[in-house]
């Protein structure tokens, strides 16, 4: 038997932001799938730990945390099927360069290239773009260690697959994923400042469709949108030149950081300089390694058709939350069929909030935001802070009960249960 106690940490583990101290007394870092299977089969409470970029207790446990970061790192590209099977512990920034050099790309990326593939998919993390699905939307197959220590593959079309991708770690410890690929491409990025609100309201779909990926950054101060980040694919006709004025906004004179007053050197290159997709689609450079993030984050998804009335509803209560805000971001996400994806069944707009790192102050305003967005069926991001009750979540997700049945079938003893799942997906006796 392997002495897993050798992996016991000397102090409690915390998440990236430092607002969560995990309850686990042990952190296992297996170096092989066989070792991982041994750990899982011997445990009564196990949770997988990714790169720690969640802001709530979704990865927490009173048992053992398991990291897959030390498992053999593999990237197997199938050119014929345009897929790549990759080890779950890889960070996106460790994967994308290899894909690009092979002539391939992922359809989209999140703001940070530092997050793990498995963790991002398990919580429904996304980039932006009217036609771009969440990162989990690229998953065509998934392998995970089940509660009895066995290995299971589920592929697109299999029973339960749609519940296994955005699974919150409830079904097992993911070891590999097969991702859909597209041909590699280049991107130009520009930042515009001062987009008038009324122009956004009148032409929301047009504004958000102006580039491959569009992000709106606002401090919710009641005036124009502070910044619009346009990430435009370079076409066959070559790089483009950006106009000085665009929808009433002005082209930024130099590189910008989304948060006002913060130096932009850690951001991906702007001002229209062409570059590989993986060096432009994220907001931040891989070379910049985030330390503990001095922030909290929340995010809520509504149907894209409801974007403007949802914006207006938030604007009416902005004075309640804007003093606690570092910056807000608005992005579009294409709908998908994954059971717990916040974009399941509907093309969506995501309202993101980066807060000051004060849980006691932020928590009360979440209720006000959730109340304002309730008429629009707002779904919270699973990996960020929210207070939406389980009874509401059950109504927001068509496949909530299907997911409950899937977890009960694959993990009847509750090996992968934790307080987060017990609260949001309570099991009845």
Other CB atoms within 10 A of residue 235 CB:
10
Whether 173 and 40 have beta carbons less than 8 Å apart is answered as: yes
| CA–CA distance, 231 with 212 (Å, rounded to integer) | 6
Extract the tokens encoding 317.
């209560």
What residue segments make up the domains of the chain, in order of their start? 4-67, 75-184, 186-389
Residue 292's pLDDT is 54
Asked whether the predicted pLDDT for residue 158 surpasses 50, the reply is: yes
- pLDDT, tens only, 132-145: 999 999 999 999 99
Tell me the average pLDDT across 264-293. 90
- Structure token pair of residue 290: 């985030």
Supply the angle between the helices 359-373 and 307-316 in degrees, to the nearest 10: 130
> pTM, whole model, 2 decimals?
0.95
Indicate if 186-389 has the same CATH topology as 4-67: no
CA-to-CA dists, residue 369 to 43, 60, 83, 118, 340, angstroms: 39, 26, 40, 29, 21
Among all chains, which residue has been given the structure tokens 């009750």?
389
Higher pLDDT: 414 or 290? It is 414
For residue 29, CA distances in Å to 2, 36, 297, 349 come to: 12, 8, 27, 37
**428: Cβ contacts below 8 Å, ≥ 6 apart:** none
Q: Which CATH class is domain 4-67?
A: alpha beta
Residue with structure tokens 């949108």? 225
Is the pLDDT at 193 greater than 60? The verdict is yes
In the sheet with 46-49, reading across from the earlier edge strand, the strands are 26-28, 64-67, 46-49
pLDDT, one tens digit per residue, over 306-342 is 999 999 999 999 999 999 999 999 999 999 999 999 9
Q: How high is the pLDDT of residue 2? A: 31
The pLDDT tens digits of the residues spanning 84-130 come to 999 999 999 999 999 999 999 999 999 999 999 999 999 999 999 99
- Tell me whether residue 84 is exposed, middle or buried, using C-beta atoms within 10 angstroms of its C-beta: 0 to 12, 13 to 18, 19 or more: buried
Q: Mean pLDDT, to the nearest integer, of 219-231?
A: 97
316: burial class by Cβ within 10 Å (0-12, 13-18, 19+)? exposed
- Annotation: CATH topology of 75-184: 3.30.465
> Domain spanning 186-389: which CATH class is it, in words?
alpha beta
Predicted confidence (pLDDT) per residue in 5-42, tens digit = 344 444 478 898 889 999 998 899 999 999 999 999 99
The model's pLDDT over 54-83, given as tens digits with 9 standing for 90+, comes to 999 999 998 999 999 999 999 999 999 999
């Amino acid at each position: 038997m392997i002495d897993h106690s050798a992996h016991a940490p000397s102090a409690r583990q915390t998440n990236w932001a430092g607002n969560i101290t995990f309850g686990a007394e042990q952190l296992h870092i297996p170096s092989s799938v066989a070792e991982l299977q041994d750990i899982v089969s011997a445990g009564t409470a196990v949770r997988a730990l990714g790169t720690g970029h969640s802001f709530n207790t979704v990865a927490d446990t009173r048992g053992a945390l398991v990291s897959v970061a030390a498992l053999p790192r593999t990237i197997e590209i199938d050119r014929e099927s345009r897929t790549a099977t990759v080890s779950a512990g890889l960070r996106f920034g460790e994967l994308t360069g290899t894909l690009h050099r092979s002539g391939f790309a992922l359809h989209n990326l999140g703001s940070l290239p530092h997050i793990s593939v498995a963790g991002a998919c398990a919580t429904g993390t996304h980039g932006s773009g009217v036609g771009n699905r969440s990162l989990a939307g690229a998953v065509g197959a998934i392998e995970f260690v089940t509660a009895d220590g066995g290995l299971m593959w589920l592929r697109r079309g299999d029973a339960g697959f749609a519940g296994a991708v955005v699974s919150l770690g409830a079904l097992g410890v993911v070891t590999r994923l097969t991702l859909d690929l597209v041909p590699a491409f280049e991107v130009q990025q520009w930042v515009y400042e001062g987009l008038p609100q009324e122009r956004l309201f009148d032409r929301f779909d047009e504004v958000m469709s102006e580039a491959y990926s569009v992000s709106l950054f606002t401090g919710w101060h009641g005036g124009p949108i502070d910044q619009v980040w346009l990430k435009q694919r370079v076409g066959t006709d070559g790089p483009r030149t950006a106009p000085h004025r665009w929808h009433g906004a002005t082209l930024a004179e130099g590189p910008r950081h989304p948060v006002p007053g913060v130096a932009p050197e850690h951001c991906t290159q702007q001002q229209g300089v062409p570059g590989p997709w993986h060096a432009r689609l994220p907001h931040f450079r891989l070379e910049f390694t985030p330390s503990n993030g001095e922030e909290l984050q929340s995010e809520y998804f509504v149907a894209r058709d409801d974007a403007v009335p949802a914006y207006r509803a938030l604007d009416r209560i902005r004075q309640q939350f804007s003093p606690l805000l570092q910056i807000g971001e608005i992005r579009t996400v294409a709908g998908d069929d994954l059971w717990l994806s916040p974009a399941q069944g509907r093309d969506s707009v995501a309202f993101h909030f980066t807060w000051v790192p004060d849980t006691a102050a932020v928590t009360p305003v979440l209720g006000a935001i959730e109340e304002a967005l309730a008429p629009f069926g707002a779904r919270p991001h699973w990996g960020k802070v929210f207070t939406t009750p389980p009874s509401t979540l059950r109504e927001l997700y068509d496949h909530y009960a299907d997911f409950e049945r899937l977890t009960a079938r694959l993990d009847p003893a509750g090996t992968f249960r934790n307080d987060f799942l017990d609260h949001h997906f309570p099991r009845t006796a």
